[in-house]
Amino acid sequence: MIHDLYYLHDEGGIMCWIVSVADSKKEGKPENNHLVSITHLKIPRSHQLWREINKYQKRRIKRLRQQGRAEY
């Protein structure tokens, strides 16, 4: 479950804080959580924001390749 979103500018892009569903229902700081770039996430085509996310991912990967920072 996505808990929050962050923008880390050109260096990190759009990041999301993902927590387990069980942790999201607990009070306090979640135990099982990850901060990941949406560039690396696979979003189902059925998701309402798939088109926008896919467009962002393609642009981001292209930019990283141009900078010599992508291994895709």
Tell me: the pLDDT tens digits for 13-51? 999 988 877 755 666 666 778 889 999 889 999 999 999
pLDDT at 48: 95
Which position has the higher pLDDT, 2 or 57?
Answer: 57
Task: Please tell me the pTM assigned to this model.
Answer: 0.73
pLDDT at 11: 82
pLDDT at 47 (0 to 100):
93
Asked if residue 33 belongs to a domain, the reply is: yes
pLDDT at 49 (0 to 100): 92
Q: What is the pLDDT of residue 23?
A: 59
If one counts every other C-beta atom within 10 angstroms of the C-beta of residue 64, the result is 16
Q: Is 71 contained in some domain?
A: no
Asked whether residue 30 is domain-assigned, the answer is: yes
Domain count, the chain: 1
Asked if the structure places residue 9 within a domain, the reply is: yes
The CB-side HSE value for 49 (13 A sphere, CA atoms) comes to: 7
